[in-house]
Amino acid sequence: MALQVGDKAPNFTLFNTEKKEISLSDFAGKNVVILFFPLAFTSVCTAELCEMRDNIATYSNLNAEILGISVDSLFTLDKFKAEQSLPFNLLSDFNKEISTAYGSIYENFVLGMKGVSKRSAFVVDANGTIQYAEVLESAGDVPNFVAVKEALASL
């Protein structure tokens, strides 16, 4: 079942590209933008995460941390993060548990791949409540960044 505005965001702990465990609860008292994305190094994912990189000051001014999550290995994510100079955590959901918990997983993706994260955006407020939720069926679409910023600005 898809998560809705007003739901408590499921806590999680995943490894980042520095092989450090990062939990959603680490950001208590801050707003968090969680972006699930299908696959590193693909054109739409690169454009989406570079959009966040290029507007990092806006998100910082809105007291928001950004977490990017995909089912890629942390080694792949590390190379992707370095190549694109991404200034936020990329987390590996290699076992697909968190993507599933957030209703953000394709059962069947392209080229016979199974269990790939759907492109999704969630804004979680300082109390851990979801204030914005967007799960896209088409991997070719990107989240509504204006709506994400508006949700953050209203907090």
* pLDDT digit string (tens) for the chain, length 155 residues: 579 999 999 999 999 999 999 999 999 999 999 999 999 999 899 999 999 999 999 999 999 999 999 999 999 999 999 999 999 999 999 999 999 999 999 988 888 889 999 999 999 999 999 999 999 999 999 999 999 999 999 99
Identify whether 119 is part of a domain: yes
What is the pTM (predicted TM-score) of this model? 0.95
Q: Answer yes or no: 45 catalytic.
A: yes
- Domain count of the fold of the chain: 1
**Which residues contact residue 124 at a Cβ distance below 8 angstroms, ignoring those fewer than 6 apart?**
9, 24, 27, 31, 32, 33, 34, 130, 131
Residue 135 within any structural domain of the chain: yes
Identified catalytic residue from 22, 24, 34, 45: 45
Query: What's the CATH number where 120 sits?
Result: 3.40.30.10
Closest CA to 13 of 107, 89, 121: 89
CA torsion sign for 16, 20, 24, 29 is negative
Domain that holds residue 73: 30-153
Distance CA 65, CA 31 (A): 6
The answer to whether residue 124 is domain-embedded is yes
Q: How far apart are CA 96 and CA 117, in angstroms?
A: 8
